[in-house]
Amino acid sequence: MTSPFQIMHSMTSDRSALDGKAITKQTRARVFAFAKPYKRSILGFLGTIIVSTFLGLLPPLLIREVFDDAIVNGDGGYINILFLFLVAAALGEAVLGLVERYLSSRIGEGLIYDLRVRLFDHVQRMPIAFFTRTQTGTLISRLNNDVIGAQRAFTGTLGTVVGNVIALTGTLIAMLLLEWKLTLLAIVILPFFVLPARRVGAGLSDITREGMNVNASMNNTMTERFNVAGALLVKLFGRHKAEADDFSDRAGRVRDIGVRSAMYSRVFLAALTLVGAIGTALVYWWGGHQVIDGDITPGTLVALGLYTVRIYMPLTSLSNARVDVMQAFVSFERVFEVLDTPNVIQDADDAVDLPSPARGEIRFKNVTFRYPNPAEGTPESLGGREQTGSLDDVLRGVDVDVTPGQMVAIVGPSGSGKTTMTSLVPRLYDITSGAITIDGHDIDSVTQDSLRKTIGVVSQDPHLFHDTVGSNLRYARPGATDAELVEACRAARIHDVIADLPDGYDTVVGERGYRLSGGEKQRLAIARMLLKDPAIVILDEATSHLDTENEAYVQEALAGALEGRTSLVIAHRLSTITDADQILVLDDGRIVERGTHEQLRRSGGLYEELYETLVRAEVE
């Protein structure tokens, strides 16, 4: 039977999201498809609810027998039998309650698992462009709040609605069979409770929604201020008191809302208790007169009084059943929005693995690229309306041949397309026209997994997880031995630093690796790349933010890391790529010069201008 707290949950639900909503056939079909693996469990769950509900109808009838038959006739043996039946009914309800809870949790947790795994896998496979326009908090909310809301459709809403319908129907039938006039009396006072209770519910809904919004705002503040970068910014700008005052204001608002919510809830519970007491009193009052007049028996009156309490909460709960059902389906729809968001970078149906080991030959054939807008079908809540595409081509007619083992440096003014060009090789974006091949295989015709296994990337700000040094290294190769970690770290000139850490390779590096210096993070990223052992290495300004000493360490590590590998190197400091086999000079998306360092210096073009400017700045 529905508890007052379940009714309150329904009443406090935010109905604003349901305005104009309707459950489509397609949504229902997809929901049932997710529920199909749990068909037997759902049937068992509903079966236990039905049996448990009917068992709950037995005690008032048995008590009626105690008053009208056993006591009147002085039959102690019959009382003993009725006692055993009462105990058996209670035990049966208890056992069925355990079974119902087991099946409910099995269905609910299984559904949560299925939805979360599907969502996580789908989101992980989305292209980088998806993450640049979608808020992380939105995705986390879908994985947590909406998945749990969808799960509630089966373990909460379904069981509550079915249980209430059966309990109400069975109770009313039993009451009508016992005495229809008293049954009507018990029902007729219900509107005097339901209408005020719904007004209380509307108020609870408003303040609950406000409380959720303020709490969400506080959570967002804590997320931004409690990470290393946020905490550092607050300290550097001396904003501690302002931040504390702002947080205090919002926390105070949550406190006030909590007090109001508690009073609203108490009023509701008091009203529920009062109406139940009044209804029961009226039944006993009128029924008592009927007993005196001989119209009904005392046992019938007692049974009706017990049944009266059972009809108020189910009726009230069912008045909100549509809201509960709609909320559950809205949660499903929000989950489906993410699952239906198109992934424009997919393996071709006939895609094959890139042959391994790869030789490392790379070719750009008349490549043109423009950053895309969100794919058609991307929902507005996930950045579907944002025009994130570039107005003009970022790369124009790029032709490059990179032979195996060659080091190719890419230089040019800011915004010329250097990073964009290297991001196309591992297919983080799909080119607009032209072709890119590796060892003669078009990257569109090979699987993304095999393509990315062939490529290692070290960026100017490498990402490290809040985990141990060893775990961050093994992200590249989970099965790597301790000896292999040490070997890679020695090659990256970082082993001695790690050995001096408090726990060596078991030292936690902190969020984004903040416990390490910039140069140490770079060398650790190089070691991670070496463990991956790729044929092609992409270095995106890996030394641009380092001081001279750290740059020397990283350059020494890179010299060994690039040996025997094809490499594409984006260089901010041109003095670091003077030994490149080939230098490409990009300007406004086009390759305007190419050649060796000496050749480009002699040509007196853009490279010479950049070199003189940057080298002069380095010297100064």
If you write DSSP's letter for every residue of 191-256 in order, what string do you get? HHHHHHHHHHHHHHHHHHHHHHHHHHHHHHHHHHHSSHHHHHHHHHTT-HHHHHHHHHHHHHHHHH
Q: Which residue has the higher pLDDT, 465 or 399?
A: 399
CB 14 within 8 A of CB 209: yes
Phi, psi of 363 (to 5 degrees): -135, 130
CB atoms within 10 A of CB 514: 16
**In the β-sheet with 441-442, what is the strand arrangement from edge to edge?**
395-402, 362-369, 433-438, 441-442
For 164-168, 294-298, 379-383, 528-532, which range has the lowest pLDDT when averaged over its residues? 379-383
Least confident of 88-92, 329-333, 497-501: 329-333
Distance, CA of 442 to CA of 353 (rounded, Å): 11
Q: Which has the higher per-residue pLDDT, 276 or 110?
A: 110
Tokens at 531, concatenated: 């463990």
Percentage with pLDDT > 90 across the chain: 21
pLDDT tops 70 at residue 323: no
What span, in angstroms and rounded, lies between the C-alpha atoms of 15 and 102? 30
* Distance, C-alpha 49 to centroid of its chain: 32
Residue 364: in which H helix or E strand, if any? Answer: strand 362-369
| Run of H or E including 566 | strand 566-570
Residue 546 has pLDDT above 70, yes or no: no
| pLDDT of res. 415 | 85
pLDDT of amino acid 114: 87
Answer whether residue 375 shows pLDDT above 80.
Answer: no
Distance CA 249, CA 480 (A): 51
- Element of type H or E holding 606: helix 606-619
101 pLDDT tier (thresholds 50, 70, 90): confident
Residue 425 binned pLDDT confidence (cut-offs 50, 70, 90): very high
Q: What is the 3-state secondary structure (H, E, C) of 474-530?
A: HCCCCCCCHHHHHHHHHHCCCHHHHHCCCCHHHCECCHHHCCCCHHHHHHHHHHHHH
Confirm if 302 and 66 have CB atoms less than 8 A apart: no
Confidence label for 426 from pLDDT (cuts 50, 70 and 90) = very high
Greatest C-alpha distance within the chain: 122
HSE at residue 139, side-chain half, CA atoms within 13 A, is 18
Q: How confident is the model at residue 319 (pLDDT cuts 50, 70, 90)?
A: low
Q: Strands of 536-540's sheet, edge to edge?
A: 455-459, 536-540, 566-570, 407-411, 582-587, 590-595
Q: Which has more pLDDT, 362 or 230?
A: 362
- Number of other residues whose CB lies within 10 A of the CB of residue 597: 18
pLDDT level of residue 620 (50, 70, 90 thresholds): very low
Query: In which element (H, E) is residue 410 found?
Result: strand 407-411
Average pLDDT over residues 320-339: 74
Q: CB under 8 Å to 227, separation ≥6 — which residues?
A: 511
- Of 317, 318, 303, which is closest to residue 56 (Cα–Cα)? 303
What domains are there in the chain, each with its CATH number? 4-340 (1.20.1560.10), 463-533 (3.40.50.300)
Would you state the torsion angle of the CA atoms of residues 444, 446, 449, 455, taken in this order, to the nearest 10 degrees?
Answer: -80
pLDDT at res. 104: 84
25-34, 95-104, 109-118: which has the minimum mean pLDDT? Answer: 25-34
Per-residue pLDDT tens for 134-193?
777 677 777 777 787 777 766 777 777 888 888 888 888 888 888 888 888 887 776 766
Q: Is the pLDDT of residue 269 over 80?
A: no
Beta bridge partners, 401, equal 363
127 φ/ψ angles, rounded to the nearest 5 degrees: -70, 160
Q: What is the pLDDT of residue 386?
A: 65
User: Dihedral (C-alpha) 205, 207, 212, 214: value to the nearest 10 degrees?
Assistant: 160
pLDDT at 387: 65
pLDDT of residue 339: 86
- Helices 321-340 and 25-35: crossing angle, nearest 10°? 80
pLDDT for 311: 81
Mean pLDDT, the chain, whole residue set? 82
pLDDT average, residue stretch 250-259: 84
The pLDDT tens digits of the residues spanning 549-603 come to: 666 776 777 777 788 899 999 876 666 678 889 999 999 999 999 999 899 988 8
Answer yes or no: is pLDDT of 206 > 80. Answer: no
Residue with tokens 């010297």: 619
How many other β-carbons are positioned within 10 Å of the β-carbon of residue 516? 21
C-alpha 145, offset from chain centre: 8
Pairwise CA distance, residues 299 & 296, whole Å: 8
- Supply the pLDDT for residue 512: 74
Q: How far apart are CA 78 and CA 241, in angstroms?
A: 76
Closest CA to 528 of 572, 590, 575, 462: 462
Asked, as a colleague might, if the bond just before 357 is cis with ω within 30 of 0, I would say yes
Give the pLDDT of residue 107.
86
